[in-house]
Amino acid sequence: MNDQKNPGGAHVAVAKGKPSVALLVTCLVDLFRPAVGFAAVKLLEEAGYEVKVPEQGCCGQPNYNNGDRQGARAMARGTIERFSGYDYVVVPSGSCAGMLRIHYPALFEPGSKDQQQAEDLARRTYELTSFLYDIAGVTEVQAQLSATATYHDGCAGLREMRVRDQPRALLASVGGLEIAELSEPEVCCGFGGTFCVKYPDVSDRITEKKIADIRNTGADYLLAGDLGCLLTIGGKLHRDGSTITACHVAEVLAGMAEADSDADD
Amino acid sequence: MTSRDAILTKIRNARSNAAAQIKPADDVGIHPQATPAGDLLGQFIELARAEVATVDELGTVAEVPAAVARYMEEQGLGNQLVLGPDPQLGDLDWQSIASLKCSQESPHPDGDTVITACYAAVADSGALVVVSSPDHPVELNFLPANHIVVLRRDQVLEDFERLWTQLRQDYAGKPWPRCINLIVGPSRTADLGFPPKMGAHGPGRVHILVV
Amino acid sequence: MQTTSLKFRQLASQALADETLRTALGDVERIMPVIRNSALDQLENPEAWFDRASASRDRTLAELDVYLEAFEQKVQQLGGHVHWAADGTEACEIIAGICETAGARTVTKSKSMVTEEIELNAFLESRDMTVVETDLGEYIIQLRGERPSHILAPALHVTLSEVAETFHRHHDLERAAPLREPTEMLLEARAVLRDRFLSADVGITGANFLVAETGGVVIVTNEGNADLTASLPDTHIVVTGIEKVVPTLEDAGLMLRLLARSAAGQRLSTYTTLIHGPRRAEDSSGPSNFHVVLLDNGRSDMLGTQLQEMLRCIRCSACINHCPVYTAVGGHAYGSVYSGPMGAVLTPGLAGLHAAAHLPNASTFCGRCEEVCPVRIPIPKMLRYWRDREFERRMTPRSVRYGLDWWTHMNASPRIYRSLLGIAARLLRGLSSRGWITRLPGPGRAWTRYRDMPTPAGQTFQHQWRRTRGRAGES
């Protein structure tokens, strides 16, 4: 294990010979919740990886899902180029990871150089918790959180990246944490990317049902592996005056769930 | 160009592979489910009962008239029984059961109880299989309020695949039966809410006499 | 095919406000996945059955002409007639012609989505025929002058008290006591429809499958209405899509196992019927005339395209029952006889993309439809296919197109992207109060109409990373 400083801390020396992980931080984490990115870095470094953060932008999913293949291809090419050369690419989002793993190869002409590069990236790309559990062999974390939490399976993580048991296994090792399962953990939260602003009232009804399920668990925390789901559900929980905290699973695993997220450093 | 030709041409233009032919059934890559070969009858009865059919296990076919009379009395179904044209059933000793009034006419639209034989039963789905013939007009299965079916123990098959095989053998060189009906319990509808309500257009009771 | 899909937004909003619909959809959402799962668990390894079923469907679609011609030949040998209809109008003309030849005044029908698709009832009524739907749900909505809100449970949206009221109004029950119990309503409908069955001149049914090997038409119901429709009148017309053919009885058996389980959590539907042609010389009953109308109506256009896999569909409705959008808004919002995920793919194919523009967009891409599909139709991929066509044809709203274009440009250089995110973070912080934003301008308004948005927590991740970990962490 690497001698890890706190995420806001100074430069961390990394030993030579460690496998490298490039973190694709995602737009939403980048903008709204940098702590998720630092939590991911901490977990990956503790697992013995050399973490790099290449210059990066959006993976192109909004364009891809709205029919703009050309725009999506342009962004995919940028991501492919900037994330080449690392042993692994890890994403604290099932949705953006699914974009790289499943959809990038489908964007390009079969057999083309672009497609070969997309396939190469796809093979190296993992969602964070499945990377930690399946690849890094992490089975427990040192974190503590005295609370009851429930876990929502983000759709793309679940169905595209096969993330289901890994976050639960890791969460089970968090000291003091009780997991109360939702009755329908695998039902969509209503986010759906641009869907939530294109059809806001439909989206809201779907979120409303998800929140009823969450409330029934009696949990203090709602956890998920995708910030899109968390902003959607958390935003409505706050509007409803709920005290339930929406939190990324990485923050809990890294012991950062109760940190002051407003701090600059 | 007729619509037939136009449609077929469009289909042919869309496909790239060479002319195909219907493959024999053993080439479709379907492997019958591993049904426990043991107690087929037991499995059939369990599933038929789960689908709200009632089942009475008898000894020989000669016991059928008395069992019918008993069932109809228990259920309060009156004494009118339609036998249909099937000589297998018509030849049973119905006279000895004084309480029953048997007829061979087609069922009255409502209220009647009909008894028929069947062709087979499928253990893995609880389905009775009846095939239409001059002896067994198809409407006998659907018009009556109550349908009593006589099933021989040796008629129970494991699954659909065995049924298809047996039908192919029995109807080799002959036209297929006009209607092959698989029947699982009484008629029902889910259009008036959950759970489904029994007795929609078809029989509201299906009673199986195993001989 | 008529649609009101362009009004999806408005129809969806109305549906969301309908509390009785909400209760009905809540039942679907709560009950259907549970009974489907338990029925599929009876099959050892259901996923392997899905593989077999989708392979069987693909094999059929790859050689569709062969199986259709074989089916046609078998039906003809059995003494039946096969008609080919390029579109809905031709199908309606063919069917009306058969009915007129039979001197039909009353036509009974069992539930058929294809006849909804071609709007057959209105066509026959315009030729002075009385058309009676016999599936209970379809009968209820026929009396109410509505369209189906679910492909298998067409009257899903109608409450029991509305059913009672409908029967009261249409059945001459003015002075009778109101119907209260579902069983009373069932008996009432059964009695009225029994007379219709017995007096009909022509019976029209759909088909779940056509078996090329035998010329058999497979029809599945739980009520038994299709069998009475098919066997009592002197003429039986089967109307179905060209994709419904399967090669052999084994293929049919495979589909039947999955259909009943996926559709209604049953091992097998109550009645599964295989019909081979008209009555025989020796038969005492059964229809003398037997016709099969094979409808194309846009289906062959999907063959050989990225939409071909949609033709695997066996109309089980599992995708509908598991869809978060369908279970929020119900079937009528889609404005098409085919609703939910399968409808969102099929409707643009059958009615044209212009008539169905919203439908491919009204999905969260949660992927549950593909997960539950017994023939593994990649529905999200097909919805994306339609979104791509909309974008290409400039049907995507201009604001969205410009927005995406702008986003692509902002992402052309990571430096521009980083500054943009930095500006966004500052702007959002300016709108914030106590860590939350309750009202956003512009496109963000749709978000804050229903939810709050957390304030960006300080500077962006990339900014903080570059500052704290310096260039050492970058490539």
CB contact at 8 A, A117 and A84:
yes
Q: What is the mean pLDDT of residues C308-323?
A: 97
- Residue C469 is predicted with a pLDDT of 85
Q: Count how many pairs of residues, chain A against chain C, have C-beta atoms within 8 Å.
A: 228
Residue C372 has pLDDT above 90, yes or no: yes
Note whether C328 contacts A: Cβ–Cβ < 8 A: yes
Give me the domains of chain B, ranges plus CATH numbers. 36-188+196-210 (3.40.50.10420)
For residues A24 and A252, give the distance between their C-alpha atoms in angstroms, rounded to a whole number: 19
- Residue A3 is predicted with a pLDDT of 42
- Residue C442 is predicted with a pLDDT of 87
- Residue B27 is predicted with a pLDDT of 44
Cβ of B134 within 8 Å of Cβ of C250? The answer is no
User: Which residues are paired to C436 by β-bridges?
Assistant: C433, C454
Confidence of residue A17 (pLDDT cuts 50, 70, 90): confident
For residue range A226-259, list pLDDT tens digits in order: 999 999 999 999 999 999 999 999 999 999 987 4
Residue B38 has pLDDT above 90, yes or no: no
For residues B155 and B210, give the distance between their C-alpha atoms in angstroms, rounded to a whole number: 10
What radius of gyration, in Å, describes the C-alpha atoms of chain A?
18
Confidence of residue A2 (pLDDT cuts 50, 70, 90): very low
Task: Name the residue facing B178 among C27, C31, C275 (closest C-beta).
Answer: C275
Cβ of A198 within 8 Å of Cβ of C388? The answer is no
The one-letter amino acid code at C228 reads: L
For residue A49, give every residue at least 6 positions away whose Cβ sits within 8 Å of its Cβ, in sequence order, or none: A18, A19, A20, A21, A88, A136
* B105 vs C329 pLDDT, higher one: C329
Cβ of A186 within 8 Å of Cβ of C444? The answer is no
Joined tokens for residue C394: 């400039």
> Within 13 A of C358's CA, how many CA atoms are on the CB side?
20
What DSSP string runs through C316-370? --HHHHT-TTHHHH-SGGGTSSS-HHHHHHHHHHHH-GGGSTTGGGS-----HHH
For residue C133, give every residue at least 6 positions away whose Cβ sits within 8 Å of its Cβ, in sequence order, or none: C109, C111, C121, C139, C141, C142
Beta-strand runs (E) in C118-215: 130-133, 202-205, 209-211
- Residue C408 is predicted with a pLDDT of 97
For chain C, percent of residues with pLDDT exceeding 70:
99
Confidence of residue A9 (pLDDT cuts 50, 70, 90): very low
How far is the alpha carbon of B30 from chain C, nearest alpha carbon, in Å? 7
The string over C232-258, giving b where at least 16 C-beta atoms fall within 10 Å of a residue's C-beta and e elsewhere, is bbbbbbbbbbbbbbbbbbbbbbbbbbb
For residues C206 and A151, give the distance between their C-alpha atoms in angstroms, rounded to a whole number: 45
Q: What is the mean pLDDT of residues C52-74?
A: 94
- Residue A148 is predicted with a pLDDT of 98
For residues C320 and C148, give the distance between their C-alpha atoms in angstroms, rounded to a whole number: 13
The pairing of beta strand C209-211 with beta strand C245-246? parallel
CA–CA distance from C444 to each of A131, B125, C428, C453, C475 (Å)? 34, 54, 11, 10, 34
- Residue B23 is predicted with a pLDDT of 53
Residue C311 has pLDDT above 70, yes or no: yes
Confidence of residue A135 (pLDDT cuts 50, 70, 90): very high
Confidence of residue C2 (pLDDT cuts 50, 70, 90): confident
ipTM: 0.95
CA dihedral A235, A150, A7, A121 (to 10 degrees): -90
- Residue C457 is predicted with a pLDDT of 84
- Residue A138 is predicted with a pLDDT of 98
Give me the domains of chain A, ranges plus CATH numbers. 20-134 (no CATH), 139-253 (3.40.50.11810)
Residue C105 has pLDDT above 70, yes or no: yes
Residue A4 has pLDDT above 70, yes or no: no
Residue of C296, C311, C349, C301 lying closest to C86 (CA atoms): C296
- Residue C471 is predicted with a pLDDT of 59
Q: Count how many pairs of residues, chain B against chain C, have C-beta atoms within 8 Å.
A: 251
Chains that touch A (3 or more CB pairs under 8 A): C
Chains that touch C (3 or more CB pairs under 8 A): A, B
Joined tokens for residue C401: 């197109």
Cβ of B175 within 8 Å of Cβ of C273? The answer is no
Residue B106 has pLDDT above 80, yes or no: no
Of A258-262, B81-85, B193-197, C81-85, minimum mean pLDDT range = A258-262
> Any contact of A with C, at least 3 CB pairs below 8 A?
yes
For residue range B131-178, list pLDDT tens digits in order: 999 999 999 999 999 999 999 999 999 999 999 999 999 999 999 999
- Residue C84 is predicted with a pLDDT of 98
**Number of Cβ within a 10 Å radius of residue C106:** 18
Q: What is the mean pLDDT of residues A7-20?
A: 56
Residue of A187, C3, C336, C166 lying closest to B191 (CA atoms): C166
Which C residues in the span 206-235 are in contact with B, Cβ-Cβ below 8 Å?
212-216, 222-225, 227-228, 231-232
Residue C455 has pLDDT above 80, yes or no: yes
For chain C, percent of residues with pLDDT exceeding 90:
94
Q: What is the mean pLDDT of residues C84-107?
A: 98
Q: What is the mean pLDDT of residues C91-103?
A: 98
For residues B21 and B34, give the distance between their C-alpha atoms in angstroms, rounded to a whole number: 29
- Residue A8 is predicted with a pLDDT of 36
Note whether C26 contacts B: Cβ–Cβ < 8 A: no
* B20 vs A179 pLDDT, higher one: A179
Joined tokens for residue A108: 């390009």
Note whether C81 contacts B: Cβ–Cβ < 8 A: no
- Residue B110 is predicted with a pLDDT of 63
Residue in the block written with tokens 């098919």: C230
Q: Choose, out of C16, C366, C431, the residue to mutate when testing the contact with A (most A CBs < 10 Å).
A: C366
What DSSP string runs through C254-302? HHHHHHHHHHHS-SS-SEEEEE-SS--TT-SSS-SEEEEEEE-TTHHHH
- Phi first, then psi, for residue C252 (nearest 5°) are -65, -45
- Phi first, then psi, for residue C454 (nearest 5°) are -70, 150
For residue range A113-133, list pLDDT tens digits in order: 999 999 999 999 999 999 999
Q: Choose, out of C390, C408, C474, the residue to mutate when testing the contact with A (most A CBs < 10 Å).
A: C408
- Residue B1 is predicted with a pLDDT of 86
* B107 vs C271 pLDDT, higher one: C271
- Average pLDDT of every residue of chain C: 95
- Residue B25 is predicted with a pLDDT of 42
Cβ of B10 within 8 Å of Cβ of C301? The answer is yes
Task: Name the residue facing C436 among A160, A190, A238 (closest C-beta).
Answer: A238
Q: Choose, out of A198, A207, A208, A245, the residue to mutate when testing the contact with C (most C CBs < 10 Å).
A: A198
For residue range A143-157, list pLDDT tens digits in order: 999 999 999 999 999
3-state DSSP assignment of residue B97: coil
Confidence of residue A7 (pLDDT cuts 50, 70, 90): very low
C328 CB burial (10 A radius; 0-12, 13-18, 19+): buried
For residue C33, give every residue at least 6 positions away whose Cβ sits within 8 Å of its Cβ, in sequence order, or none: C321, C322, C372
Confidence of residue B75 (pLDDT cuts 50, 70, 90): very high
Confidence of residue C44 (pLDDT cuts 50, 70, 90): confident
- Average pLDDT of every residue of chain B: 89
C136 CB burial (10 A radius; 0-12, 13-18, 19+): buried
**Number of Cβ within a 10 Å radius of residue B18:** 6
- Phi first, then psi, for residue B152 (nearest 5°) are -85, 140
CB contact at 8 A, B130 and B141:
yes
Give me the domains of chain C, ranges plus CATH numbers. 3-42+317-396 (no CATH), 45-300 (3.40.50.10420), 414-473 (no CATH)
Residue of A105, C280, C27 lying closest to B138 (CA atoms): C280
Q: What is the mean pLDDT of residues A41-55?
A: 97
